[in-house]
Amino acid sequence: MPEAPNAPSSPSSPEVREPVVTPLRAVIALCLVAPFVAMLWVGSYAKADPAFLGMPFFYWYQMLWVLLSTALTMVAYKLWQRDQRARRGGAGK
């Protein structure tokens, strides 16, 4: 009876896998978590001063995070794509 095609050649040679948590993935997580932390820490921005163009700090700070969140999400997505390409390229070696 032939061996299964995915079976290891011998029990003494374990399959080598890339680590799941890599520095790149840690940066991706940081990009995605930062806006949540900034918005959930209300005490840091629950004030009126400094005003910007007559708008209280409370409002313009939140609007700034809308833009920052968009930029950080785009960075995380591009880094994720790079990570996936590297993993697919490394699997064929």
The angle formed by the CA atoms of residues 88, 91 and 93, to the nearest 5 degrees, is: 125
How many CB atoms within 10 Å of residue 28?
Answer: 20
pLDDT band at 9 (very low <50, low <70, confident <90, very high): low
Contacts of 65 (CB under 8 A, 6+ apart): 35, 38, 39
pLDDT digits (tens, 9 = 90+) for 38-71: 999 988 888 888 988 999 999 999 999 999 999 9
Separation between Cα atoms, residue 53 and residue 63, nearest integer Å: 13
Radius of gyration of the chain measured on its C-alpha atoms: 23
Confidence of residue 14 (pLDDT cuts 50, 70, 90): confident
